[in-house]
Amino acid sequence: MGRKKMILDLDTGIDDALAIAYALASTEIDLIGIVGSYGNLQMLAGVQNSLNLLNLLGESNIPVYLGEKHSITTQSFDTLEISQEIHGMNGLGDIKIPKSSRPYASESGIDFIIDSAHEFQSDLIIVPTGPLTNLSLAIKKDPKIETLIGKVVLMGGALTIPGNVTAVAEANINQDPEAANEVFQSKLPITMVGLDVTLKTLLTKKETELWREIDSPSSRAFADIVDYYINAYANLKTNLDGCALHDPLAVAVAIDASLVTTLPINMKVDTEAPFSGRTIGDETRLNSNQATTVVAVAVETERFLSTFMTRLSTLFSKN
């Protein structure tokens, strides 16, 4: 059996950068491409961050594609102030890393998702860690891919706890609730890795100090970038002892589903006030035989953190 193929769909801020590193450090999968999204920053700036990060991590072949610049119900996108506080103005904690000279791919990210679904079918894993706009447009353009794609493991939503941008909404879902609802209502086999579990996987300066000791260009850059993120969490007074590893946890679960305990639930996203952006069970599909989504509600925190540190430290020591 060949290795599974992974596509990351990112709004490349700080935890998205950690998701790229985790995917590159994982020999179980082939990262075949990155699609850009808006969210933590503008889509084009995120695409440039992805190219720069791949370059920093010694990877010069994985293509990066343009995705949508805004939600399916809007004509433009303005980065939220809270995103800039958490990820910095450049999405990477205002730390400068060398600019990649590689251009982004000419094919659109949405066509890349569709073509990859036809080519790799059940071997394809899609990991969106930003808004679900690109994936919703891909299934609208070619609904057949819903039953071709092996699995979608997304970072987004909150089932058992409140949201992080409103009382009920998590940031990625909140950027485009309509798109997210279309994805959850589709036939796609989804694992939802939401705040229920990602807020239980925290990194502290104890770990970034270990990266500093590696003393390579990538370890120093990632230590600086993640320290900005840890400071931002402290300033926000989140009551968390460290920063949340939202996006790398989704990649880790895509590779090893046994890291989380899940509940099978057909989900929906509310699109109207006062609950816009809420991820919750779809009452109209309560009695259908099979749930298309499983929601992660518990995580093996220690096992994930030690795997995360081993993988990233190994990657950083080579670059």
Rounded-to-integer distance, Cα 201 and Cα 210, Å: 18
Q: Which residues have a catalytic role annotated?
A: 246
In angstroms, what is the minimal distance from the CB of 144 to ligand RIB?
28
Q: Is 79 in the site for ligand RIB (CB under 6 A)?
A: no
Q: Interaction with ligand RIB in 106-135: which residues (CB under 6 A)?
A: 129-130
Rounded-to-integer distance, Cα 248 and Cα 255, Å: 11
When the beta carbons of 168 and 251 are compared against Ca ion, the nearer one is: 251
Here's the x/- map for ligand RIB, 235-264, by CB under 6 A: it reads as -----------xx-----------------
Q: Interaction with Ca ion in 1-60: which residues (CB under 5 A)?
A: 11, 16
In angstroms, what is the minimal distance from the CB of 192 to ligand RIB?
12
When the beta carbons of 172 and 185 are compared against ligand RIB, the nearer one is: 172
Alpha helices in the chain (DSSP H): 14-24, 43-56, 81-87, 109-120, 133-141, 171-175, 177-185, 195-198, 205-214, 217-235, 246-255, 301-318
Which residues share a beta bridge with 108? 66
When the beta carbons of 155 and 203 are compared against ligand RIB, the nearer one is: 155
Q: Which residues contact 230 (CB under 8 A, 6 or more apart)?
A: 203, 204, 205, 208, 242, 243
Stretch that binds ligand RIB, among 44-52, 60-68, 165-173, 228-236 (CB under 6 A): 165-173
Complete edge-to-edge strand list for the sheet that includes strand 190-193: 64-65, 29-36, 4-10, 124-128, 151-155, 190-193, 293-299, 260-264
Interface residue with ligand RIB among 13, 33, 109, 189 (CB under 6 A) is 13
Note the Cα 120 to chain centre separation in Å.
21
In angstroms, what is the minimal distance from the CB of 237 to Ca ion?
22
When the beta carbons of 214 and 247 are compared against ligand RIB, the nearer one is: 247
Residues 191, 188, 36: CA angle, nearest 5 degrees: 75
The helix, strand and coil proportions of the chain, stated in percent and rounded to the nearest 5, come to 45, 20, 40
When the beta carbons of 90 and 114 are compared against ligand RIB, the nearer one is: 90
Instruction: Name the binder of 170 from ligand RIB, Ca ion, none, CB < 5-8 A by kind.
Output: ligand RIB
Q: What is the DSSP secondary structure assignment for residue 240, as one 8-state letter?
A: -
Interface residue with ligand RIB among 164, 218, 266, 307 (CB under 6 A) is 164
Q: Which residues contact 138 (CB under 8 A, 6 or more apart)?
A: 110, 113, 114, 117, 145
Q: Which of 267, 205, 208 is nearest to 234 (CA)?
A: 205
Q: Which residues contact 200 (CB under 8 A, 6 or more apart)?
A: 299, 301
In angstroms, what is the minimal distance from the CB of 175 to ligand RIB?
8
In angstroms, what is the minimal distance from the CB of 288 to Ca ion?
30
When the beta carbons of 36 and 130 are compared against Ca ion, the nearer one is: 130
Here's the x/- map for ligand RIB, 15-34, by CB under 6 A: it reads as xx------------------
Footprint of Ca ion (CB under 5 A): 11, 16, 129-130, 247
Footprint of ligand RIB (CB under 6 A): 11, 13, 15-16, 39-40, 129-130, 155, 164, 170-172, 246-247
